Amino acid sequence: MELIHYSYARVGLMGNPSDGYYGKTISLLISNFFVKLTLIPNHLKENSKISFLKNGDSNNDCDLSFDSLNSLVGISKSKGYNKESCLLQATCKVFSEYCSKNNIDLHNQGFSVHFNTNIPRQVGFAGSSAIITAFWKALMNFYNISDENISLPIQANLILSVEKDELKISAGLQDRVVQVYGGLVYMDFNKDQMIKHGFGIYERLDINSLPKGLWIAYELNPSDSGKIHSDVRKRYERGDQKVIDAMKQLISFTEQARNILIHKNESKRRELAKLMNKNFELRREIFGDQILGQTNLFIIELARKYNFAAKFTGSGGAILGLWNGDDDDSTILTNIEKLKNELEKKEIRFCWLIPQE
């Protein structure tokens, strides 16, 4: 029987990029973009073969296969990872090693796996971690392992280790936490907590508390988003007071946003919009325009021209927007159409954000 698991794109609502600096963030999943992963158990239980099929192909067109899970782990250690299937292969290795170390028994039946994804690449929607998370959930289902056996915070850590430790890809916890927990999540990565426990304090918020009218825009041909954090990280590690103070301010913005979301407030949307603008301005100050990129700045400036608050959704390439005027302002629909038309001329896609529980 096929096991089908979905994992969704992530949008940073507030606080990013402080998550990599012992900060606080709020993120949510959106159903606009997702990974659909299918795990197909072998017909015979004694057949331990593991196969990674070509993406989106269930016709036994195989990219890579191993005689067993143990064989996969051994080959991965000795020969490294296959480029085409590295995310899946590394996920299997981390999963198997964690279960072995923690005396979680795994049966010997093998499987084949393939996935489809429509998450745009390199625009800060956490597409790679969505693939890993979907596969991780499928493996837990296949091997009958519950969240009690591997807690949600530990799952997020292990999913991060697939990219960060196994594949040497720069990555942070925020994406993995919200994709494991689902919905809308407040995350506190304070240093004492992280050192003592190895993970942050995570709180699911009511996704229905989000204001209506959030939208996202992203460039269709983005550049590599990995450069966004590089210089700031070095400055932070050198003890640059400007960067340290900025991260403290981002923490404050996140705390304020959480209070706005958990309390009924008629001016919720306007207050959140103001914080979104502040979040972006602070990010701009510490990164600089050259790092942020002209296309991203164009989207932000255009959004503000039509009275929308705007900020980055993640590491770059995509923008989150929210109306910054009065609820009964009759110009909102006109402004939306003007904004969309100008974005489309620059090959930038606009779409309404659809929160995912």
Question: What's the CA gap between 297 and 319, in Å, rounded?
Answer: 9
Q: How far is CA 318 from the centre of its chain?
A: 12
Q: What pLDDT does 225 receive?
A: 44
Q: What is the CATH number of the domain that holds 329?
A: 3.30.70.890
342: Cβ–Cβ under 8 A, 6 or more apart, which residues? 302
Is residue 251 classed exposed, middle or buried when 0-12, 13-18 and 19+ CB atoms within 10 A define those classes?
buried
Looking at 205, 240, 263, the residue that finishes a domain is 205
Q: What pLDDT does 1 receive?
A: 85
Question: What's the CA gap between 89 and 113, in Å, rounded?
Answer: 11
Q: What pLDDT does 104 receive?
A: 97
Looking at 154, 182, 205, the residue that finishes a domain is 205
Give the pLDDT band of residue 337 (cuts 50, 70, 90).
very high
How large is the average pLDDT for residues 240-250? 95
Q: What pLDDT does 93 receive?
A: 98
Range of the domain at 94: 3-205
Give the pLDDT band of residue 230 (cuts 50, 70, 90).
low
How large is the average pLDDT for residues 336-347? 95
Element (H, E) at 352: strand 348-352
The rounded percent of the chain whose pLDDT value lies above 70 is: 96
pLDDT at 182 over 90: yes
Give the pLDDT band of residue 57 (cuts 50, 70, 90).
low
Give the pLDDT band of residue 228 (cuts 50, 70, 90).
very low
**What confidence tens digit (pLDDT) does each residue in 70-111 have?**
999 999 999 999 988 999 999 999 999 999 999 999 999 999
3-state secondary structure at position 349:
strand
Is residue 294 classed exposed, middle or buried when 0-12, 13-18 and 19+ CB atoms within 10 A define those classes?
exposed
Give the pLDDT band of residue 135 (cuts 50, 70, 90).
very high
How large is the average pLDDT for residues 311-329? 87
Residue 239 counted as domain residue: yes
The rounded percent of the chain whose pLDDT value lies above 90 is: 81
Q: What is the CATH number of the domain that holds 54?
A: 3.30.230.10
Give the pLDDT band of residue 24 (cuts 50, 70, 90).
very high
Question: What's the CA gap between 351 and 348, in Å, rounded?
Answer: 10
Q: CA-CA distances (angstroms) from residue 192 to 157, 164, 201, 234?
A: 17, 22, 11, 21
Query: Could you tell me if 21 and 236 are in contact, meaning their C-beta atoms sit under 8 angstroms apart?
Result: yes
Looking at 205, 228, 258, the residue that finishes a domain is 205
CA trace torsion 285, 231, 222, 54 (10° rounding): -140
Which candidate, 234, 352, 232, places its Cα nearest to that of 283? 232
Query: Could you tell me if 52 and 133 are in contact, meaning their C-beta atoms sit under 8 angstroms apart?
Result: no
> Between residues 61 and 173, which one has the greater pLDDT?
173
Neighbours of 245 (CB within 10 A): 12
Q: What pLDDT does 221 receive?
A: 80
pLDDT at 133 over 80: yes
Q: How many domains does the chain have?
A: 2
Question: Is the same domain home to 65 and 181?
Answer: yes
Is residue 209 classed exposed, middle or buried when 0-12, 13-18 and 19+ CB atoms within 10 A define those classes?
middle
User: Hey, which residues are catalytic here?
Assistant: 175
Q: What pLDDT does 226 receive?
A: 44
Q: What pLDDT does 331 receive?
A: 87
Residue 61 counted as domain residue: yes
Question: Is the same domain home to 114 and 129?
Answer: yes
3-state secondary structure at position 240:
coil
How large is the average pLDDT for residues 216-240? 76
Amino acid 316 reads G
